[in-house]
Each structure stands twice: as structure tokens, then as C-alpha cells.
Amino acid sequence: MFFGTPYIAPWFTTDAEAIKQIVIALRIDAFNQPGLAISLILAGVLQGMGDTKTPLYSTAFGMWVTRILGVILLGNILDLGIAGVWLAIGMDLYIRSLFLIYRFRRNIQILNNNNETPS
């Protein structure tokens, strides 16, 4: 995704500015993919553990607060344009991933404490 974008983008348009924007967006998105994978996997794991509210709340907060404020700040106020939009998406994904990792570890700790047998 990072290296191939400049070669693939011209398949869809001949507009040089559009190609430039596509390359910027997809190169940033290439670095967002681990955050996306972690958040998707842990959301499913937490749901499987019976914790359905945490993924719901983290997704809602990420989409409606982190991304929107990030786009306004990075895209508009700091005038980063499309790069700011994709950086805001990345911030959301990595913040959400860190929160979900925390919740997963906390749930595991609670399960381990509940399964300990008294001596």
C-alpha cells in the first residue's frame, strides 16, 4: 500500500492533484492498518468475553469525538488537508486500540481473580 500507491493511483484518474492526494492518504493509511487490526480483533474478543459495551462505547467515542475533533484540528485549523483527515483516523484507531488492550487485560485479571480457588 505504501510503495505501490503511486503506480496504482493513475489507473483510476489522470488528474495529477488527485493522484497526489491519493498517495498521501493511502501512505498514511498504511500506517493506520495495525491500529485498525488491533481494535477490530480486541472488539471481537471483548464481545466474546461478554463485554459488549466497551467496544460500543470506544467506537462511538472514537468516531464522534476523536475523529471529528481531530479532523477539525488537523485538517482545518492546522491546514493539513487530507493528510490531517487520515492522521485523525490513525489517532482514533491507535487510541482505541490502547484502550481496548487495557480493557482486555483488566477483564483477564478479573477472570483470573474470580477463578482462583481459596487455599
For the segment 18-75, what is each residue's pLDDT rounded down to a tens digit? 999 999 999 999 999 999 999 999 999 999 999 999 999 999 999 999 999 999 999 9
Enumerate the domain spans of the chain.
5-109
DSSP 22-46: HHHHHHHHHHHHHHHHHHHHHHHHH
Q: Which three cell numbers stand for residue 13?
A: 484518474
On the CB side of 3, CA atoms within 13 Å amount to 0
